[in-house]
A and B are shown apart, each in its own frame.
Chain A
């Protein structure tokens, strides 16, 4: 009897596991495969022997790509670290006029794509620009040889541009870490005789380190992803190399090989980020809200702190957007035309499509994981959402490789079966661009939706199911209304990132199809920033939406802060 029971027991378990392979599970696995294919295709092509230019690349440009990328990464990493952590510390712990405003204003540069600010600064700082012209007028110089002025279109220039718009990642995460620190620890340090500066370096910073690591990692991912700036400044990074080999040498294998090597760096970054996040958990144990110390400053120091916080905002956001607004007003007749309107419609349509799809897929996958437990599906979804780390250029190449293979397959099949040649169905279509966006930005929507879903008690679906509603009806009538806010947030995040997206769009777009980003890049590269100003402004304005949302969320997340802040 006992033996019989245990046998039927395991049979039941087998059965149970089998029954679980239903629509949600299958769907999630299929979607994940789709998300992984571009990266797999890149690596696959890279290791397929063919018209190999790897040897050629290694002996010529590769060392430059590596050293330039490393220099760029080091520079931007260091720059964002100093500005991000510094401003976060000042805003969190010091009391000075305008602190309340800086808390959110320091996030504004996030709305600026690096390539837009690069165009603006080039326009201002190049030889024919207003700054050098003024200098020449003042000092009576007439030629370039008579004085030295830093060249903006250089590696240093690229580092500055990216630092100016990427430091908010570090600011955001380290500020959160500083705020979540148990203030008693800091006070203990003060009581033990360490001044504010030593307390910062010996207590606050080490405790916040995991968050800072995550912030810098995100910055580096964005740096590797950048195409517009390095293209405009002709800084030979990996991403630019991929484009060069792809577009100019027309060599798919070479581009894939470069992309694979870049992927290797990205994997290191992902591991670093995971490591940082894992350690972060230890430090988020306190739930105590306590007014932050709020160091009182002398008049002189107050001014210094104010300037330190104002500089990143002015140079990262106010000045460049001011210039763009100026251009847009002065050159309104050249800049505002039906062509730009068309590009805007393209951008908005494409981004909205991608946002809706990304959120839909995210809801599908997150709900599937929730219903069927995470054992199989959770690791699967983690793979599906890795695209955020993969640079757009790499994904773009991967999508093309994958879709071309698919198109050729369909074509061959149709030709042999029906005698019809279908040609290229997906490659170079809107579908290809949307697919690329989806792979890259799924992590954004998935993360947001999943976080929101975990806040809903499982008893909600228990109640709905026992009241006669199936999984789909439960999702629609219970979870969707409860997640409404987060779903909108997720859609907006994806929408905005798609509006800004440049490298994948350049690779994947249909012939002669322009979005605001490609149009701005095109015109600005041809030194016609004035005509692209309205388009650039449109991108910036859409980028402000999530910044506002973020600052709202931050303000709400710490109830104790409201009164403490108003006391200043």
Chain B
């Protein structure tokens, strides 16, 4: 089968495990994102796939050719891969055209030049072929780096945080262009990032790499977003409301209503996570339903409102909600809140956990990742 296969790769630096039995596939024509916090070993995995880091354990194949196992390594220059660095690593002593032809056989030939010009046209850099890297903006450098990596028609393209060097306004544009160039080329692409939104936007499939170098979940963006396997994955997309509960009659009781817990043992302790966008607010007049809540504060975040609330008339926990409509809860009168089940997740509590778990709803990668690793 075409594409990249990672089989049971483990890696350690000075006795510290960076990758732990990682396996996955990047089929030809697909864009796979490896999403994980810094320190999760995703860069190491990319370097192993490229051949820049020596494989310690496991196997890497590209298009059914074994390129690395513990006994032999194909040098990076013989793997026929493309690699794009976070800092682009354009050769400063070569102009744009020479950078792009660098990886082509007979770089000075007319064929090489034609191929390079073709790619530079795809990325919209035809007007700049005589320029040197230092004369280009960050976005332009990124385009040249992409063209350079694609020029030799690699079997696999590896992207290392390709957009992190760009400012926010530029990032969206470049991201869109890059996706379209990659779609046209049909190359198997593995991209690593720590930005969940970027992964959701770019990827056909996402692999979540947790601390300790273990793949926690793989799936399409919507699978990952709507069915996170554990707290760590659920909290990748932002802070959540979080409380503990006990399963009674196939559901767990919360101050804002019951949440279905199908398949969980009666009486087991659970953690409940509700995304801010999972709290739906409405007025008593509408056919909305829910429990009455008291709004404590509201902050306009631009395209949404962040609202702090609690159940009316109770001293219960506070909840964070996010609503997109133009909404002034202090004017519309009594508010009802209900939970959107798609954004509420229930996980069985770890019994072995000594002492109380973190009660803060603010997510910290470190603590949740530890739990994920032991799962």
Given contacts A465-B75, A466-B50, contact A9 B56 (CB under 8 A): yes
Within 8 A of B (CB), among A462-500: 462-470, 473, 477-478, 481-482
A15 B70 Cβ-Cβ under 8 A: yes
B12 within 8 A of A: yes
Q: What's the least CB distance linking B92 to chain A, in Å?
A: 7
Interface range on chain A (Cβ under 8 Å from partner): 20 to 34
* Contact partners of B10 in chain A: CB under 8 A: 5, 9
Alpha-carbon distance A464/B75, docked complex (angstroms): 12
Q: What's the least CB distance linking A330 to chain B, in Å?
A: 50
Within 8 A of B (CB), among A86-103: none
* Contact partners of B115 in chain A: CB under 8 A: none
Given contacts A9-B10, A15-B71, A468-B77, contact A462 B57 (CB under 8 A): no
A466 B83 Cβ-Cβ under 8 A: yes
* Contact partners of A13 in chain B: CB under 8 A: 56
A9 B57 Cβ-Cβ under 8 A: yes
Most B C-beta atoms less than 10 A away, residue of A12, A15, A463, A482: A463
* Contact partners of A463 in chain B: CB under 8 A: 83, 85, 89-91, 148
Q: Mark A1-30, 1 if CB is under 8 A from B, else 0.
A: 000010011011101100100000000000
Given contacts A8-B57, A482-B92, A482-B93, contact A462 B77 (CB under 8 A): no
Q: Mark B262-283, 1 if CB is under 8 A from A, else 0.
A: 0000000000000000000000
Q: Mark B42-61, 1 if CB is under 8 A from A, else 0.
A: 00000100111011110000
B250 within 8 A of A: no
Using CB atoms, name the residue of chain A closest to B100: A467
Find A466's partner among B55, B73, B79 (CB 8 Å cutoff). Answer: B79
B76 A465 Cβ-Cβ under 8 A: yes
A460 within 8 A of B: yes
B152 within 8 A of A: yes
A459 within 8 A of B: yes
Find B102's partner among A9, A19, A459, A467 (CB 8 Å cutoff). Answer: A467
Q: What's the least CB distance linking A302 to chain B, in Å?
A: 44
Alpha-carbon distance A470/B103, docked complex (angstroms): 11
Alpha-carbon distance A15/B70, docked complex (angstroms): 7
Given contacts A11-B70, A470-B75, A482-B93, contact A462 B83 (CB under 8 A): yes
Using CB atoms, name the residue of chain B closest to A477: B102
Q: Mark A28-71, 1 if CB is under 8 A from B, else 0.
A: 00000000000000000000000000000000000000000000
Using CB atoms, name the residue of chain A closest to B52: A462
B89 A457 Cβ-Cβ under 8 A: yes
* Contact partners of A470 in chain B: CB under 8 A: 75, 77
Find B80's partner among A9, A468, A481 (CB 8 Å cutoff). Answer: A468
Find B89's partner among A9, A16, A462 (CB 8 Å cutoff). Answer: A462
Alpha-carbon distance A11/B87, docked complex (angstroms): 35
* Contact partners of B83 in chain A: CB under 8 A: 462-463, 466
B234 within 8 A of A: no
* Contact partners of A11 in chain B: CB under 8 A: 70
Q: What's the least CB distance linking A372 to chain B, in Å?
A: 10
B81 within 8 A of A: yes
* Contact partners of A464 in chain B: CB under 8 A: 91, 102
* Contact partners of A478 in chain B: CB under 8 A: 91, 93
Q: What's the least CB distance linking B108 to chain A, in Å?
A: 12
Alpha-carbon distance A8/B21, docked complex (angstroms): 13
Alpha-carbon distance A214/B188, docked complex (angstroms): 55
* Contact partners of A467 in chain B: CB under 8 A: 77, 82, 102-103, 148-149, 152
* Contact partners of A9 in chain B: CB under 8 A: 10, 12, 56-57
Alpha-carbon distance A370/B76, docked complex (angstroms): 16
B77 A465 Cβ-Cβ under 8 A: yes
B56 A16 Cβ-Cβ under 8 A: yes
Given contacts A11-B70, A466-B83, contact A481 B93 (CB under 8 A): yes
B82 A466 Cβ-Cβ under 8 A: yes
Q: What's the least CB distance linking B84 to chain A, in Å?
A: 8
Alpha-carbon distance A469/B73, docked complex (angstroms): 16
Q: What's the least CB distance linking B104 to chain A, in Å?
A: 8
Most B C-beta atoms less than 10 A away, residue of A459, A470, A477, A481: A459
A459 B85 Cβ-Cβ under 8 A: yes
Q: What's the least CB distance linking B177 to chain A, in Å?
A: 21
Q: What's the least CB distance linking B128 to chain A, in Å?
A: 19
Q: Mark B99-142, 1 if CB is under 8 A from A, else 0.
A: 00011010000000000000000000000000000000000000
Given contacts A12-B57, A467-B152, A470-B77, contact A462 B85 (CB under 8 A): yes
* Contact partners of B75 in chain A: CB under 8 A: 465, 470
Most A C-beta atoms less than 10 A away, residue of B50, B55, B103, B105: B103
A5 B89 Cβ-Cβ under 8 A: no
A460 B89 Cβ-Cβ under 8 A: yes
Q: What's the least CB distance linking A376 to chain B, in Å?
A: 15
Find B50's partner among A462, A468, A473, A482 (CB 8 Å cutoff). Answer: A462
* Contact partners of B51 in chain A: CB under 8 A: 465-466
Within 8 A of B (CB), among A502-561: none
Most B C-beta atoms less than 10 A away, residue of A8, A465, A477, A478: A465
B76 A466 Cβ-Cβ under 8 A: yes
Using CB atoms, name the residue of chain B closest to A456: B92
Q: What's the least CB distance linking B150 to chain A, in Å?
A: 11
Find B57's partner among A5, A459, A477, A481 (CB 8 Å cutoff). Answer: A5
A16 B76 Cβ-Cβ under 8 A: no
B102 A457 Cβ-Cβ under 8 A: no
Using CB atoms, name the residue of chain B closest to A461: B52
B91 A12 Cβ-Cβ under 8 A: no
* Contact partners of A457 in chain B: CB under 8 A: 87, 89
* Contact partners of A459 in chain B: CB under 8 A: 85-87, 89
Q: What's the least CB distance linking A467 to chain B, in Å?
A: 3
Q: What's the least CB distance linking B66 to chain A, in Å?
A: 15
Most A C-beta atoms less than 10 A away, residue of B21, B77, B83, B85: B77
Find B103's partner among A16, A468, A481, A482 (CB 8 Å cutoff). Answer: A468
Q: What's the least CB distance linking B189 to chain A, in Å?
A: 14
* Contact partners of A5 in chain B: CB under 8 A: 10, 21, 57
* Contact partners of B79 in chain A: CB under 8 A: 466
Alpha-carbon distance A8/B59, docked complex (angstroms): 13
* Contact partners of A465 in chain B: CB under 8 A: 50-52, 75-77
Q: What's the least CB distance linking A199 to chain B, in Å?
A: 42
Within 8 A of A (CB), among B134-186: 148-149, 152, 158
Given contacts A8-B70, A462-B89, A482-B92, contact A16 B54 (CB under 8 A): yes
* Contact partners of A19 in chain B: CB under 8 A: 54, 73
Within 8 A of B (CB), among A444-466: 457, 459-460, 462-466
Alpha-carbon distance A464/B99, docked complex (angstroms): 10
B56 A468 Cβ-Cβ under 8 A: no
Alpha-carbon distance A462/B91, docked complex (angstroms): 11
* Contact partners of B105 in chain A: CB under 8 A: 468
Q: Mark B349-366, 1 if CB is under 8 A from A, else 0.
A: 000000000000000000
Using CB atoms, name the residue of chain B closest to A17: B54
Q: What's the least CB distance linking A541 to chain B, in Å?
A: 32
Using CB atoms, name the residue of chain A closest to B50: A466
A469 B77 Cβ-Cβ under 8 A: yes
B152 A468 Cβ-Cβ under 8 A: yes
Alpha-carbon distance A11/B54, docked complex (angstroms): 14
Within 8 A of A (CB), among B16-56: 21, 47, 50-52, 54-56
Using CB atoms, name the residue of chain A closest to B157: A466
Given contacts A459-B85, A482-B92, contact A12 B77 (CB under 8 A): no
CB pairs A–B below 8 angstroms (7 shown): A8-B57, A19-B73, A457-B89, A464-B102, A465-B75, A466-B83, A468-B78
What 3 pairs across the A-B complex have the smallest Cβ distances? A467-B103, A459-B89, A466-B83
Known: A9-B12, A459-B87, A466-B76. 10 other contacts (CB 8 A): A16-B70, A462-B50, A464-B91, A464-B102, A466-B51, A467-B152, A468-B77, A468-B152, A470-B77, A477-B102
